[in-house]
A and B are shown apart, each in its own frame.
Chain A
């Protein structure tokens, strides 16, 4: 959604009910995985978020979100894939309750954050790609705003500012981009929604 807004592309958003009743449109548009997100452009469906992002980039080349240089593009794609692959780890932490599984989830998550901090972000660059926001930043967007709330719900803080100064600086840069800022959901409502989602998926924490 951010990608479309950054490019100034008007679109219609359809909320899917994933748990009880996937719409016929979804099942028809993504018969292989039956998952969201799906972009439908002039009646033609595109699935898998990375594929969708690249399609958006190629179809609406104004306000480019990928670097021009092929090597820089390869690096951008590398980090997009990295985050896509690690999202289950981040969610495993979010859905964890105190115990052995949570300890492992914490360790795995910290490793992910550490890798991003050390290898993904550069001192002199405002965003992953450089001076302007790009596709890679959008894929890491979870860490800029939602993540803090998810940590609060778990009751464990991982992304401390003194351990991850580059990530924190990046998060501030990300949130100050006007399209992002204008579309950030209300903090309390998002917190309630996330908490609710965790409760539906795993039941509330048994401690405190």
Chain B
């Protein structure tokens, strides 16, 4: 029986991009369905009734929600190809810890930096830069968070690269100045086809935030 894999997502979502990268790493064919978050499809509402959010992976009709859970699921089901998580339990725990840190510390502060002004932006930007520096510390001199190879933590963080230009412009700072190692790391990740084919365009992201800011009167 052929596997039927469907991904419901929104082009801007860094969480959705994680899934695209994971599926590409494993060489899995899938159907992509773009969701309009202002007008969610009946399929999305049925597949994720609790949160009604993207991304959702539908494998042979069964839904899996929450991006980190989806990535782990993909890793477990297609375990022969290209493992995303380390095999040792302690290193796995470390990887999951950092993925969780990214979810807690990067998304919200990044979004606030782009969608606010004045003092609120300053506060959000401070938290964002602090958190990015902690991650930079964790990366150290390694080529990837996963060590010699691209791994789970790299996959979780790299989609946020598409928002870097927006962070810099709306937050008035330079990633190259604040987190040069992360820029180097991101460029290394982008050399992988699975990554470069899965990421949104930075300029498009910036334009989108520009439109949202106008819509919400943040200028």
Chain A residue contacts of B100, Cβ below 8 A: 48, 50-51
**Hey, what's the 0/1 contact readout for B31-72 against A, CB within 8 Å counting as 1?**
000000000000000000110000000010010111001101
Contact A74 B73 (CB under 8 A): yes
Judged by a CB distance under 8 angstroms, whether B90 is at the interface is: yes
Contact A32 B72 (CB under 8 A): no
Judged by a CB distance under 8 angstroms, whether A20 is at the interface is: no
Chain A residue contacts of B92, Cβ below 8 A: 54-55, 58
Count contacts on A: residues with CB < 8 A to the other chain.
Answer: 23
Contact A70 B73 (CB under 8 A): yes
Residue of A nearest to B138 (CB): A32
Contact of A70 among B49, B76, B89 (CB under 8 A): B76
Chain B residue contacts of A81, Cβ below 8 A: 66, 69
CA of A90 to CA of B94 in the docked complex: distance in angstroms? 28
Judged by a CB distance under 8 angstroms, whether B134 is at the interface is: yes
Contact A71 B97 (CB under 8 A): no
Chain B residue contacts of A41, Cβ below 8 A: 90
Q: B79: shortest Cβ distance to chain A, in Å?
A: 9
Judged by a CB distance under 8 angstroms, whether B77 is at the interface is: yes
Residue of A nearest to B70 (CB): A74
A55-B72 contact, Cβ under 8 Å, with A70-B77, A78-B66: no
CA of A47 to CA of B62 in the docked complex: distance in angstroms? 31
Contact A71 B89 (CB under 8 A): no
Contact A55 B89 (CB under 8 A): yes
Contact A51 B69 (CB under 8 A): no
Q: A40: shortest Cβ distance to chain B, in Å?
A: 11
Contact B64 A74 (CB under 8 A): yes
Q: B62: shortest Cβ distance to chain A, in Å?
A: 5
A-B contact count (CB 8 A): 58
Contact A119 B97 (CB under 8 A): no
Provide the main secondary structure of the chain A interface: helix
Residue of B nearest to A56 (CB): B89
Contact of A71 among B62, B90, B93, B94 (CB under 8 A): B62
Judged by a CB distance under 8 angstroms, whether A44 is at the interface is: yes
Chain B residue contacts of A73, Cβ below 8 A: 72-73, 76
A115-B50 contact, Cβ under 8 Å, with A55-B90, A59-B89, A78-B65: yes
Q: B13: shortest Cβ distance to chain A, in Å?
A: 17
A119-B50 contact, Cβ under 8 Å, with A71-B62, A71-B64, A71-B73: yes
CA of A82 to CA of B134 in the docked complex: distance in angstroms? 26
Q: B97: shortest Cβ distance to chain A, in Å?
A: 5
In residues 56-76 of chain A, which contact B (Cβ within 8 Å)? 58-59, 70-71, 73-74
Given contacts A51-B100, A52-B93, A78-B69, 15 further A-B contacts (CB under 8 A): A32-B134, A46-B93, A46-B97, A48-B97, A48-B100, A55-B90, A58-B89, A59-B89, A70-B77, A71-B62, A73-B76, A74-B73, A77-B72, A81-B66, A82-B50
List 26 A-B residue pairs with CB atoms under 8 Å apart, sorted by A's residue number: A32-B134, A41-B90, A46-B90, A46-B94, A47-B97, A48-B96, A48-B97, A51-B97, A55-B90, A58-B89, A58-B92, A71-B59, A71-B64, A71-B73, A73-B72, A73-B76, A74-B72, A74-B73, A77-B69, A78-B64, A78-B65, A81-B66, A82-B50, A115-B50, A119-B49, A119-B50
